[in-house]
Amino acid sequence: MTSLAWSFMTSFLTYETNKSVVVKSWSVGIINRLVQLMIMSYFVGYVFLYERAYQEADTAIESSVITKVKGFGKLNNVVMDVADYIYPPQGEGVFSIITKIITTHNQFQGTCSEIGDSFNCSTNADCAKHLSSVQANGIITGVCNTSCGSCEIEGWCPAENDQVQIEPMAEFVNFTIYIKNSIRFPLFSVTRGNFNSTINNCTNNKLTDPFCPIFRVGDILTEVNQNVTTLANNGGEIGIVIEWRCNLDRDVDLCVPSYSFIKLNAPFENNISKGYNFRFAKYYKTADGTDFRSLHKAYAVRFDVMVTGTARKFSLIPTVINVIAALTSIGMGTVVCDLVLLNCLKGAEQYKKKKFEEVSEAQILASITPSPGSQMSVRQGHDSCCDSGAISLSVNY
Amino acid sequence: MTSLAWSFMTSFLTYETNKSVVVKSWSVGIINRLVQLMIMSYFVGYVFLYERAYQEADTAIESSVITKVKGFGKLNNVVMDVADYIYPPQGEGVFSIITKIITTHNQFQGTCSEIGDSFNCSTNADCAKHLSSVQANGIITGVCNTSCGSCEIEGWCPAENDQVQIEPMAEFVNFTIYIKNSIRFPLFSVTRGNFNSTINNCTNNKLTDPFCPIFRVGDILTEVNQNVTTLANNGGEIGIVIEWRCNLDRDVDLCVPSYSFIKLNAPFENNISKGYNFRFAKYYKTADGTDFRSLHKAYAVRFDVMVTGTARKFSLIPTVINVIAALTSIGMGTVVCDLVLLNCLKGAEQYKKKKFEEVSEAQILASITPSPGSQMSVRQGHDSCCDSGAISLSVNY
Amino acid sequence: MTSLAWSFMTSFLTYETNKSVVVKSWSVGIINRLVQLMIMSYFVGYVFLYERAYQEADTAIESSVITKVKGFGKLNNVVMDVADYIYPPQGEGVFSIITKIITTHNQFQGTCSEIGDSFNCSTNADCAKHLSSVQANGIITGVCNTSCGSCEIEGWCPAENDQVQIEPMAEFVNFTIYIKNSIRFPLFSVTRGNFNSTINNCTNNKLTDPFCPIFRVGDILTEVNQNVTTLANNGGEIGIVIEWRCNLDRDVDLCVPSYSFIKLNAPFENNISKGYNFRFAKYYKTADGTDFRSLHKAYAVRFDVMVTGTARKFSLIPTVINVIAALTSIGMGTVVCDLVLLNCLKGAEQYKKKKFEEVSEAQILASITPSPGSQMSVRQGHDSCCDSGAISLSVNY
């Protein structure tokens, strides 16, 4: 029993190493070292230093954005403040600054003809036909007002005339947008804000004050090459991108945002750009309780604060994987050298003889007369399997 | 000095390669090539062609969504347009189309009893007890109106009666939703829009017009198997998923979105589905300046445009890692062949003798009499370490 | 022709395996097995069991959040319900509960002096100078009202006085927030909801009821150590983080969310915390149709429901990569053992002789007299290249 354990231990505690041929040749030696140098340069220079493959990345950034706009403008001889021109009012990450409003006052439920519809009817059937061709969603039936010869439809009347020319609120370029952004990288539990206590009364400027969280609308429009007059008239969509690129292996205070601005309309530029507008209504009651409303078609500049980010930090698993890849591929450099040594060098045949020991089945079979019992051979086979060391260990045990 | 440098160079510029045993046996040879073929098939077929492991992926998509709904409906004999039934009005990615409104008109601050509360009180204490059992948040005290025997609470009066039966706005199935989505993959700096200039007046259809950005509500509901009447009565939540799967190694014009629709309520189906509703108020003033409001309980279909995406592009690091893994595992195929060769083949013992050269500690120690000075042995040991080539290089230098 | 094919097959169907030296030495054997054990422990214990590197991760979670707040409060002697204090009303993932409102009633367009401006003017020029120094966005010109000596500006009058002391709505701590969150992991097509049918009338409690989707505001504030009085007076921002960590190799029912709360203001704490407020207006018409409004400066607690998550599932590619890395690095353990064997062990020189077979260029060149035709050597070189097996296969074929 103990002798069995002893022999097991003896065969287990062996060490198997490759038998090597060391070629003392300057030509192959130089090639060998050059190949190794190239592989190492790729891994050290590109993989580790440039791409920082020893780090783990977190792109699933959690973000909360609060905005606040300041400024006064004048539209239709009415002074507008924040409560008048910001939609929605709560200071969200997506908000619109209204630059022009076409208001249709005192709309009551009733029947009236649509503005700009020059169709002349004589019967209700005419109108049904006409209206279904004009509006795809024409579920509202029309009635022909025979006195004036136009189709009248049920709805809020008078109908909106959105072709009215109105001077937009030009002052919006001087408005300022304050952005408060707090983020978190859940993988690394790192929380950051987009400014710190030293920032006070400031205006963001790419060169002189890149961390100030207050942006002048005009500066943003200049940066995206947006024509201010067109924008004020038609509305538009601007993206404010806050980008966090954080290397958490360095001081976390270096994890600061960078701001950039994009025309969100850019991918659609081939189209006739129609700007951005939306409709909303204000509701009133007459003294006798009848509901009426004023309809507002608001042309607005919509700002979309988009937060994106990547944090990177040292992580053991990618590091080990890449180190192993580096060492393995240095080992693979021998493939190149072998090709040279065994094919191109003077004396290749001699090198081949040194490197390769041939055994053919015929030789082996000739040498075994008579063949040993298969049982014994299997048991010995097992023992020597243990000798095959590293890799076969993971197979046998 | 120069001779030292010379000998250093000589020992540095060597090349070490494994000594190999080449077995000329058809049986092992076939196994060897088959194992190699299987490993290569896995890597070439599955890893590289199917899973495209040579690419880097970016899932941190930046997205901006603008929506616009069109259509007219009729609710409670009032024609409703976009300004009446869309909440919020600005055209956000999450919006609701109101299908039914229960309005409580002319609410003033006062005291009144709650609708549907059949509790009979005789003292204020009765009411305090009753109310705290009815509402968990009952911070409002009640007073017993002894004339009618019911508890009255302070608040907006008259109280809302949300059990009123109202015919919902059935026309909403004909409304159309226009979706404008611009996205960006920050890792690859690729910006895309969900339609291009050739798209004009159209309606999205999975088969005939899959890229049209205008969707008919009814089509969406059909696709998610949603009962329209139930939905109009109770409200509901529909997800519009825009999925971007982009292979940036191909033409960027092939990077187009696909649309799909989901019932957001699906994970909660076991529950009695209560639909979706919310309350809002419109505020008025009487001629003498008293505030009153109308309370609206709105049943709505809430649409949530969710944008998801992955862009993939060739990247050197995963490619190299996977190529190295492929080559390494082809090398590991020898483990299988060794098992066969050294255990199962006829003449296994002979193969073993060819492959393994045994050295035992006893032999070695016997051969060294007298032992050389340890100092010299160490120095020589260092020299030969240099010979161990590729891997030991990274250890020694 | 057939003999050529035959010889090709013969040379193709060979098997090449490394020739090894098996050292039967306890000391090196123990070191060898220890090094292998350490490497295996790292891979099995850390990489596979702890870090679960055999799984693929999806962090691009799709999420839809609906909220509903319940409760009554009293502000300025007016009972407030949900329609009065929630902004926006639709039940979005980002919403504000108003705790204090400073209302400026009956504002009409006109000219008036700003509240709290003690500047005394005598000419309009005085005012222009003064106003441009006070407001950066001062596009509104001022007029000096010489009778009272103060600058008057155009706008909504009377001006807001936001220094009024108002008792905030203290009852908001008893409000409850119901959160409905449905998510999807697009990579694995797994959809989940944040509660199931067994959850009914409940209040979330970290210890006793962690899956209940109804939260009491007071409980949330306690958990983030927020002073309720300060918050009610100044407003604030609270994050409700819903975190999904799902191991999809296990039962999908174990994929449940965990809730946590954070002060979104935390990264800005160094600043004088100014809380959170926003302005909105309600619009009215007089009997003769003149527009007027009441301006509301609302101090609110803003809740931001942030959904984050990672799903992990077994995937072949990372598994294979890591297994290969494990096996390779076990093989690399020989580097350590070789260093010991060839340098530190007694009889190192003898081991070296066994392991390394030296060939110098001089020897080789001496042995070849006369040199064979280079053509023949190249052809033979090619044949033996085929013999070099595994790796050269991928190079030659």
Pick from A22, A141, A259 the residue to mutate for testing the B interface (most B CBs within 10 Å): A22
Q: Which residues of chain B have pLDDT under 50?
A: 136-138, 371-397
pLDDT digits (tens, 9 = 90+) for C231-283: 999 999 999 999 999 999 999 989 999 999 999 888 887 655 578 999 999 99
Q: Where are the beta strands (DSSP E) in A123-163?
A: 142-145, 150-157
Question: Which of B27, B63, B90 should one mutate to test binding to chain A, selecting the residue with the greatest count of A CBs within 10 A?
Answer: B90
Mutate which: A17, A103, A320, A351, vs C, most C CBs within 10 A: A17
Output the average pLDDT for chain A.
83
pLDDT at B272: 55
The two structure tokens encoding residue A41 = 């340069």
| Triad C299, A217, A219: Cα angle to 5° | 140
Give alpha helix (H) positions in chain C. 2-12, 26-41, 82-85, 124-134, 217-223, 228-234, 316-339, 348-355, 361-367, 374-387, 389-396
Q: How confident is the model at residue A365 (pLDDT cuts 50, 70, 90)?
A: confident
Q: Is A10 within 8 Å of C24 (Cβ atoms)?
A: yes
* Spatial distance between the Cα atoms of A291 and A284, rounded to a whole number of angstroms: 6
Which amino acid would we find at residue C37? L
Q: Mutating which of C90, C307, C353, C357 best tests the B interface, going by the most B Cβ atoms within 10 A? A: C90
Q: Which residue in A has a C-alpha nearest to residue C340's C-alpha?
A: A15
- Reading the block at residue A75, the tokens are 């539209």
CA B92 to chain CA centroid, Å, is 21
The DSSP result for B252-290, as a single string, is GGG--EEEEEEETTGGGTTS-----EEEEEEEEE-TT--
Mutate to test the interface with A, among C132, C304, C391 (most CBs of A within 10 A): C304
Q: Quick check: C360 and A354 in contact, CB under 8 A? A: no
Closest approach of C171 to chain A, Cα-based (Å)? 22
The nearest alpha carbon in chain B to C85 belongs to B280
The pTM (predicted TM-score) of the whole model is 0.86
C72 and B155: CB-CB below 8 Å? yes
Cβ contacts of B237 on chain C, cutoff 8 Å: 64, 66
Peptide bond preceding B370: is omega within 30 degrees of 0, i.e. cis? yes
8 Å CB contact of A90 and C355: no
Closest by Cα among C156, C98, C280, C284 to A83: C280
pLDDT greater than 90 at residue C99: yes
Q: Tell me the pLDDT tens digit for each residue of C103-146.
A: 999 999 988 887 767 777 877 777 777 777 665 444 566 778 77
**pLDDT digits 0-9 by tens, A302-332:** 999 999 999 999 999 999 989 988 988 888 8
Find chain C residues with C-beta within 8 A of B356's C-beta. Answer: 20-22
Asked whether the beta carbons of A109 and B78 are under 8 A apart, the reply is: yes
Q: Count of A–C CB contacts within 8 Å?
A: 266
Query: What are the chain A neighbours of B195 within 8 Å (beta carbons)?
Result: 268
Q: What is the ipTM of this complex?
A: 0.83
B118 vs C385, which has greater pLDDT? B118
Residues B298, B279 contacting (CB under 8 angstroms) = yes
What does the angle CA C155 – CA C157 – CA C159 come to, to the nearest 5 degrees? 95
How many Å apart are CA A117 and CA A138, to the nearest integer? 15
Q: Which residues does residue B392 pair with via DSSP β-bridges, in sequence order?
A: none
Q: How far is B324 from chain C (nearest CA, A)?
A: 10
Residues 6+ apart with CB under 8 A from C199: C211, C212, C213
Question: C136 and A24 in contact by Cβ < 8 A?
Answer: no
Q: Which of A160-164, B300-304, C7-11, C280-284 has the lowest mean pLDDT?
A: C7-11
Query: What's the pLDDT at A200?
Result: 67
Given a cut of 50, whether residue A375 has pLDDT beyond it is: no
The per-residue b/e assignment along A185-222, b for 16 or more CB within 10 angstroms, e otherwise, is bbbeebbbbbbeeebeeeebeeeeeeebbbbbbeebbe
Question: Which residue in chain C has the smallest CA separation from B60?
Answer: C60
Convert the pLDDT of each residue in C339-374 to its tens digit. Answer: 877 887 777 777 788 788 777 777 777 777 654 444
Q: Which residues fall within 8 angstroms of residue C58, CB to CB, at 6 or more apart?
A: B59, C185, C186, C187, C188, C310, C311, C312, C313
Q: Please tell me the distance in Å from B72's CA to the nearest CA on chain C.
A: 21
CB contact (8 A) between residue C356 and residue A13:
no
Write the DSSP symbol of residue A347.
T
The closest CB to that of B90, out of A88, A268, A341, belongs to A88
Burial grade of B215 (CB within 10 A; 0-12, 13-18, 19 or more): buried
Query: Omega into A210 within 30° of 0, i.e. cis?
Result: no
From B175, B349, B357, residue closest to A380, measured CB to CB: B349
Among C27, C26, C353, C338, which Cα is nearest to B372's?
Answer: C353
- Which chain B residue has its CA at the smallest distance from C58's CA? B59
pLDDT computed for residue C140 by the predictor: 61
What is the Cα–Cα distance from C203 to C194, expressed in whole angstroms? 14
Inter-chain residue contact B395 with C335, CB threshold 8 Å = yes
The Cβ of residue A2 has, within 10 Å, a number of other Cβ atoms equal to 6
Classify B81 in phi/psi space as left (phi over 0), alpha (psi -120 to 50) or beta.
Answer: beta
CB–CB contact C22 A83 (8 Å) = no
Residue A144 pLDDT exceeds 90: no
Do A19 and C354 count as a contact with CB atoms less than 8 A apart?
Answer: yes
For residue C240, which residues of chain A lie inside 8 Å, CB to CB? none
Of all residues in chain A, the one with the smallest CA distance to B337 is: A392
pLDDT confidence of residue C374: 42
Report which secondary-structure segment, H or E, holds A320.
helix A316-339
Between chains, do B96 and C90 touch, taking CB under 8 Å as contact?
Answer: yes
Helix, strand or coil, per DSSP, at residue A169: coil
Strand ranges (E), chain C: 15-18, 20-24, 55-58, 62-70, 73-75, 78-80, 86-87, 94-112, 142-145, 150-157, 176-185, 190-193, 214-216, 236-247, 257-263, 277-285, 291-314, 356-360
Q: Which of B252, B242, B65, C263 is nearest to A306 (CA)?
A: B65
CB pair distance less than 8 Å for C16 and B16: no
Kindly identify which residue of chain C lies nearest to residue B330, measuring between CA atoms. Answer: C390
Asked if C381's CB is within 8 angstroms of A348's CB, the reply is: yes
User: In C, which residues are within 8 Å of A192 by CB distance?
Assistant: 267
pLDDT band of C26, cuts 50, 70, 90: confident
Residue A115 scores a pLDDT above 50 = yes
| Count, residues in chain B | 397
To which H or E segment does residue B157 belong?
strand B150-157
> CA-to-CA distance for C133 and C126, rounded, in angstroms?
11
Neighbours of chain C (3+ CB pairs under 8 A): A, B
Residue, of B331 and A220, whose pLDDT is higher: A220
Q: What is the pLDDT of residue B183?
A: 94
Q: Residue count of chain C, please give it.
A: 397
- Min distance B284 CA to chain A CA atoms (Å): 7
The DSSP call for residue A205 is B
Nearest CA in chain A to C87: A90
Is residue B315 within 8 A of residue B54, CB to CB? The reply is yes
- Cβ distance C17 to B279 less than 8 Å, yes or no, reads no
Pick from C239, C268, C337: CB nearest A17 = C337
Chain B positions in Cβ-Cβ contact with residue A354 (cut-off 8 Å): 19
Contact C137 A176 (CB under 8 A): yes
CB B217 within 8 A of CB B172: yes
| Mean of pLDDT values over C5-16 | 82
Helix axes C374-387, C2-12, angle to 10 degrees: 50
CB pairs under 8 A between A and B: 261
Interior CA angle at C271 toward C269 and C276, to 5°? 80
- B349 → closest Cβ in A154, A358, A377: A377
C146: exposed, middle or buried (C-beta count within 10 Å: 0-12, 13-18, 19+)?
Answer: exposed
Q: Which residues of B touch C211 (CB under 8 A)?
A: none
Q: Which residue has the tokens 């992926």?
A: B57
A349·C380 Cβ contact <8 A: yes
Contact C339 B18 (CB under 8 A): no
The secondary structure element, H or E, covering residue B331 is helix B316-339
**Would you say A220 and A238 are in contact if contact means Cβ atoms under 8 Å apart?**
yes
Q: Which of B12, B13, B17, B108 to mutate to test the interface with A (most CBs of A within 10 A)?
A: B17
Q: A-chain residues within 8 Å CB-CB of B92? A: 94
Closest CA to A293 of A303, A306, A283: A283
How close, in Å, is residue A97 to chain B by CA atoms? Answer: 11
Judge: C15–B36 Cβ closer than 8 Å, yes or no.
no
pLDDT, chain C, mean: 83
d(C-alpha C137, C-alpha A174), whole Å: 6
- Burial (CB count <10 Å: 0-12, 13-18, 19+), residue B187: buried
Is B359's CB within 8 Å of C354's CB? yes
DSSP-assigned letter for residue B72: -
Question: Which residue from B minimizes the CA distance to C16?
Answer: B22
Q: Are C53 and C318 in contact (CB under 8 A)?
A: yes
Q: Please report the pLDDT score of residue B134 as a whole number.
A: 62
Cα A336 from Cα A262, distance rounded (Å): 50
Q: How many residues are there in chain A?
A: 397
* Helix B2-12 × helix B374-387 angle, to 10°: 50
3-state secondary structure of C175: coil
Q: Does C360 sit within 8 Å of A24, measured CB to CB?
A: yes
Contact C395 A15 (CB under 8 A): no
DSSP run (H or E) holding A362: helix A361-367
The answer to whether C112 and C159 are in contact (CB under 8 A) is yes
Is C193 close to B354, i.e. CB distance below 8 A? no
- The H or E element that residue A395 is part of is helix A389-396
Distance from C-alpha of B81 to C-alpha of B89, rounded to nearest angstrom: 11
The answer to whether residues A364 and B347 touch, using CB atoms and an 8 Å cutoff, is yes
B205 pairs with which residues across the strands? B209
B155 min Cα distance to partner chain A (Å): 21
